[in-house]
Amino acid sequence: MGAIMASAFSLYVVSLYLMRGNAPFGKLDTSLWASVLRYYVAGFVAGPIIGIVWPLRITRIGNGVVAGLGAFLVYTVAWMTQEGSPLKWSLEDWAGPLGLGVLFFLGGIVFYQPPPPPPPLPEPVWLRTTLPEDKDPDEV
């Protein structure tokens, strides 16, 4: 899933590059390839993290945690393309990723739907193998 999301974001920035050239990237002190690299790094980091917490979606709070964490990770990487390293961010820079994470956390709680019950188990099948010269035990 992380690779798919990274590809989607990369397609967007490649389209932006084809339509406007290097100007949008130069304005932000980055390049097309640096942006694509960041998206794939984030996808391969965020994908496994979301995969690890994915089973939490069976509860209302867990669903909110997964949604909020996903939104936080994606927005943080998107913001990195504009503001650079998160180690240099101010509190105002962190407000966007944190705010979006909280918003998606609440949305995950509000729009939670419990998983459907599992289907009933099939009836067991009892197979017995006999040799051709042996009598069938069901006929005895």
Question: Could you count the other beta carbons within 10 Å of the beta carbon of residue 100?
Answer: 18
Q: Give a yes or no: residue 70 inside a domain.
A: yes
Query: Regarding predicted confidence, which is higher, 114 or 74?
Result: 114
Q: Give a yes or no: residue 126 inside a domain.
A: no
Q: Give a yes or no: residue 48 inside a domain.
A: yes
Q: Give a yes or no: residue 78 inside a domain.
A: yes
What pLDDT score was predicted for residue 140?
Answer: 59
Report the share of the chain in percent with pLDDT over 70. 99
- Sign of the C-alpha dihedral, residues 95, 98, 101, 107? negative
Burial class (CB in 10 A: 0-12, 13-18, 19+), 107: middle
Lowest mean pLDDT, pick from 82-86, 92-96, 112-116: 82-86
Q: Give a yes or no: residue 138 inside a domain.
A: no
What pLDDT score was predicted for residue 136?
Answer: 74
Q: Helices 60-83 and 32-53 meet at what angle, rounded to 10?
A: 170
Average pLDDT over residues 74-89: 81
Q: Give a yes or no: residue 9 inside a domain.
A: yes
Report the number of distinct structural domains present in the chain: 1
What pLDDT score was predicted for residue 100?
Answer: 94
Angstrom distance (rounded) from CA 4 to CA 35: 15
What pLDDT score was predicted for residue 125?
Answer: 80
Question: Structural domain of residue 48, as residue ranges?
Answer: 2-114
Question: Could you count the other beta carbons within 10 Å of the beta carbon of residue 128?
Answer: 7
Q: Give a yes or no: residue 129 inside a domain.
A: no
Q: Give a yes or no: residue 34 inside a domain.
A: yes
At residue 68 the predicted structure's pLDDT band, cuts being 50, 70 and 90, is: very high
